[in-house]
Amino acid sequence: MFTPLAQRQRGQHTGDMARYAVNDEASAYVRELIDKRQYVLDSDWGTVQPNAEAQNAYLERHGWEAYGRWHLGLTDGANDETKARYAFVVGDFRRVHRTALIACVYRASEWRHKEVELAAHDLLQHLDARSG
């Protein structure tokens, strides 16, 4: 389906889009990491975010439950124990990255995943208050 440029610029996305639920376990885990000062305040998220190789290595060592705690979103309808189930990664599997939280807020906002946007925003505010 063709979407006119003016409509896309206003952020009115059309078509089938994945839906996400907030991963409450991840939110709690990220908050705990922040409280333990396990975070990076300044990073180039595009460079340091885990690539497929890093994700696979982490999964092999730690399993799906641990992998899931690094993702704020759970894809509705996706099978458990698949990468498709998890979205909105917030760290490098060792530390939370402030720039990852910013990216989550931005991406969730852009595609109107309000609950994930608000969860990421809340964690970003918590990080800023703790690191202040």
What mean pLDDT, rounded, does the chain reach?
Answer: 91
Task: Tell me, yes or no, whether 76 lies in a domain.
Answer: yes
- Percentage of residues in the chain with pLDDT exceeding 70? 89
Question: Looking at the 3D structure of the chain, how many domains does it have?
Answer: 1
Task: Tell me, yes or no, whether 126 lies in a domain.
Answer: yes
Q: What is the pLDDT of residues 74-86, one digit of tens each?
A: 999 999 999 999 9
Task: Tell me, yes or no, whether 1 lies in a domain.
Answer: no
Task: Tell me, yes or no, whether 4 lies in a domain.
Answer: no
Task: Tell me, yes or no, whether 27 lies in a domain.
Answer: yes
To 5 degrees, how large is the angle CA 27–CA 31–CA 32? 115
> What is the predicted pLDDT for the residue at 15?
52
Note down the domain range covering 123. Answer: 18-131
Residue 16 CB contacts under 8 Å (≥ 6 apart), including other chains: none
* pTM strictly above 0.75: yes
How far apart CA 73 and CA 90 sit, in angstroms, is 10
**Does the pLDDT of residue 10 top 90, yes or no?**
no
Task: Tell me, yes or no, whether 73 lies in a domain.
Answer: yes
**Does the pLDDT of residue 58 top 70, yes or no?**
yes
Task: Tell me, yes or no, whether 49 lies in a domain.
Answer: yes
Given a contact cutoff of 8 angstroms between Cβ atoms, the answer to whether 96 and 89 are in contact is no
> What is the predicted pLDDT for the residue at 71?
98
Given a contact cutoff of 8 angstroms between Cβ atoms, the answer to whether 95 and 38 are in contact is yes
